[in-house]
Structure 1
Amino acid sequence: MRFRSSSMAHLVPATKHLEWTRTNSLHFIELLKEHPSVWNIKCKQYKMRDIRSARLETIKSNLSSQTERIHAQL
């Protein structure tokens, strides 16, 4: 996301980008398998937005922590 005004740039947190290697992709797939409420429309929890959002946040934080570990090793 780009802002026209530099005064708004501080509102966007700095993020480290995850390099999508085969290992990272497989890890992401495993995380999705652990949380069928994110993708399986037959799952009862799929229709519950708060639960689905919480699961997505869990996946996001797990991927973020993996990214931080990778950057720490570099």
Structure 2
Amino acid sequence: MLQMSFYGVEEYSDWLVNAGFNPLRVEFVKKNMKHDGKEGLNRWFGSTWLPFLSCPQDNHFGRTEIGYW
């Protein structure tokens, strides 16, 4: 079974330092993810995740196509 997780504060801190930043504090902020029913959840998913899931992918024919995984 595929397990998914989020990156932690340590990973984000390392990325910031590697990018030349000097972070004073890195933390997660809790947020209430209450949506306006199924349509609200669908809008959030479409604006948040679909841009990443539909990024251009290189196929075996040397073309770049837009598609879902």
With normalisation by structure 1, the TM-score equals 0.26
State the structure with bigger RCO (CA 8 A, min sep 6), 1 or 2. Answer: 1
Larger strand proportion of the pair:
2
Structure of greater Rg: 2
